[in-house]
Structure 1
Amino acid sequence: MPRSGGSYTTSDLSRKSGDIIAEALRRPVTITQRNKPRLVLLNIDDYERLMRRSDARSAGTIETMPDSLFADFETAVEAYAAEDEGLKS
């Protein structure tokens, strides 16, 4: 069955696809190739849950950044620039 904690090789996938799919319906399964993780098989419910979470993320711009965060950002940039100038002198 699994090598270690739901991990199979690509060769295992060719030979034991039914068993691996059955396990992937219960929990995520890692597929390795040349001893490196390459794929994860997971059931549709887990996949949809991950996709819903990723949709909740958003990107902002400096214009939409809260003023307090922008002030912290500006202070950090000024400190970095001053430090960089000090190293050049």
Structure 2
Amino acid sequence: MPKTSGSYSTSDLSRKSGDIIAEALRHPVTITQRNKPRLVLLNIEDYQRLMKQSDRRAVGTIETMPDELFSEFENAVETYANEDEVGRS
């Protein structure tokens, strides 16, 4: 099976670590084990960017949602439901 650029086996990692690290500095590299993706090597800048993006995400519930946003949500659901009923007619 031919290798695609950016994907290496764990055996490749032990034999070609320098080349794989050099490639990972340019773009993410997938490491496979038994033909299944298991790891991704990426440069520190990409890692920090991903971590920064994940920090911006927040988990909440309807109970903690601001009233204004909850109203927008209710209106969107109602609009969708009405459009769905019209579509079924």
TM-score bracket for the superposition, by shorter chain length: 0.7 to 0.9
- Contact 2:62 2:70 survives alignment (8 Å): no
What's the TM-score once normalised by structure 2's chain length?
A: 0.72
- TM score, norm. by length of structure 1: 0.72
Partner SS, residue 31 of structure 2: strand
- Provide structure 2 residue ranges, at least 5 long, that are not aligned to the other structure: 79-89
TM-superposed CA distance for 1:61, in Å, is 2.0
Identity over the aligned pairs, expressed in percent?
Answer: 74
Find the aligned partners of 1:37 and 1:4 in 2 and give their Cα distance: 13
CA distance in 2, matches of 1:35, 1:43: 23
Corresponding residue number in structure 1 for 2:32: 32
> Partners of 2:52 and 2:20 in 1: how far apart?
25
Contact between 2:8 and 2:31, CA under 8 Å: does it hold in 1?
A: yes
How far does residue 5 in structure 1 lie from its aligned partner after superposition?
A: 2.3
